[in-house]
Structures are given as C-alpha cells and as structure tokens.
Amino acid sequence: MSAASPLFPKIALIGFGLIGGSIARAARAQGLAGEIVTTARSARTRARVEELGIVDRVVETNAEAVEDADLVILCIPVGACGPVAQEIAATLKPGAIISDVGSVKGAVVRDMAPYLPDGVHFVPAHPVAGTEHSGPDSGFAELFINRWCILTPPDGVDPEAIERLRAFWAALGARVEIMTPDHHDLVLAITSHLPHLIAYTIVGTADELAQVTSSEVIKFSAGGFRDFTRIAASDPTMWRDVFLANKEAVLEMLGTFNEDLSKLTRAIRRNDGEALFEHFSRTRAIRRGIVEIGQDSAAPDFGRPHAQLGKKAE
C-alpha cells in the first residue's frame, strides 16, 4: 500500500499497548497523521515508547497529549474511559473527533459522553482484532487488515466526523461497519465475550482436576485444550472490565449457552448419537463459513508451523 496524505494534522493516542501501539505503527506506515502524540499511564511504558521511536512525541499527561489534537483515541481498558474523559474534557480542541477502541460500547458511551463538551465529535469505535499479548511491544501495523472495525456513534453526531473516522480505519486496513452500542454489545457477547469466558473456565477447571495432573494437562494440550489456553492468556484487566461493563448481554448469552450445554449433556447421557452428529455437523458448517469469508485460515491446525517427520521438534 502506498502512503496516503495525512487525514489528521495531529493524532493523540492515550494508552500504548497492543491496540494503541498497532494504531500508531499502522498510521505512521500509511502517513495518516501530520504528528502522532502519545502517553501512557506509567513512566515505564512512556519510556519504552520513546525508545521504540514510533511516534513523534511522548508526553506525561493525558491533558497534554490531547492539546490541539484533531483525533483523540483512548486505547485503554474500558473501565478507565470515563475518568480519562473527565480529565481531558477541558483541553479538547473544538471540532476534534474523540474516539476509543473499547471492546464494550454501551458502558463507554454512558461513562464518557457526560464529560465531553459541545463542539467535539464523539465517535466510539471497536476494532475487532487482537491477540493475547499486551504492552507497548506487542502491537504491529498489520493487525487491522481485513478485520472489522465497528463504529457506534450516538444519535446526532456530525456525519462528516463519522466519515473521517471511517476513512481512518479503512486506511489502517479495516472494514468498517456502523451499529448502535447495544447491538454491538449483544453481538460481541456471543462472538467474543462468551468464548473468552468459556476459555477462562475450561483452563481453570483443568488446572483444578485432581485425577489429572497439571503436567499431563500441559503435555497433552494439543488435543484441543491448547487453543483455549491461548484465549485464556488474554489480559486480566481488560477482560475483567469487559465482563463488568457488558454484564447484561453476557448474562443473557450465558443463559442460552447453559440451555444448549444441557441439551448436549442429555444427548451424551442418553447415547443420542444422532443429536450429537446433527449438532456437530451444523457447527462444522459455521466454521467453513468463517474460513470462506476470510476471517480465519483454512490451513491445518490453524496454520501453526509443524516439525517435519525425521526432524526433531524445537
């Protein structure tokens, strides 16, 4: 891809972990900002960002970062968005776009909107892309390519501001969709939050099983468990905030999930092979659909590299 002309003279990123760091790298690679200024909560992260040399300036405070910024993106845990909005409100430039990347949208809108002054454009966003890694070194410019970014602008937001943010995310490689915060939270509860909760549960349960030792769980993990451990390694702060902030939708989905789990439990107990086969065939078709629309790799074992026969595994 060739570098585009800057979409924004100055972009401020508050928080520089996986998502903030990936936005900075991609925006720089695409030439989307005249200047990128960033800050992070700890002196340690700020020092590391300086060392990495990806952004133009690293500043100490959130308020300093947003001064004169045309686009401000909060790249911090969902639970921190309200207090940070309060902190930066008085310094935001009139006409600036203020956005975030939080994995829950209803709570972020509820927590941030009351503090934002008239004359700034609030366009919340959620890039549906990530890994289990966090921190300033974990980001990479290609993270958003062919991934969705969902914008959830409140009613009455200037369409031009929405369009500018859409263009920004499109230039980072994302496909952009617009929906209401409530709809976003319901969709993500089933596609992301519940799977994470299940992974956290299974990995915890396996760890507690007395009949199977921990070393056996780790040794034979390639049988399926390993894929859950990757998800269950996700950042504890981020996911604590996600479940607290999207409580209603997650509880609703958990209710449905528990009913379905009971049906499968009954099928196993009753030796109902037909019910199990029918269910597994339906889910296999869903997996094929995800691969067909390019949202995952069709390569065996999710594209993991494998040692060749005759060569020792590393």
Which residues are at the interface with ligand NAP (CB under 6 A)?
A: 15-20, 40-42, 45, 75-78, 80, 84, 101-103, 126-127, 130, 134-135, 138, 235, 238
For ligand NAP, the closer CB: 56 or 272: 56
In this structure, what token pair is assigned to residue 67?
Answer: 């001064």
For ligand NAP, the closer CB: 187 or 264: 187
For ligand NAP, the closer CB: 33 or 174: 174
The full length of the chain comes to 314
What is the spatial distance between Cα 123 and Cα 141, in angstroms, rounded to a whole number? 22
314 burial level (CB within 10 Å; 0-12, 13-18, 19+): exposed
For ligand NAP, the closer CB: 86 or 138: 138
Distances (CA, A) of 50 to 17, 55, 84: 13, 8, 22
Shortest CB 135 distance to ligand NAP, Å: 5
Shortest CB 83 distance to ligand NAP, Å: 7
Among 207, 52, 204, 65, which Cα is nearest to 135's?
A: 52
For ligand NAP, the closer CB: 73 or 120: 73
DSSP 8-state assignment for residue 43 = H
8 Å CB contact between 177 and 138? no
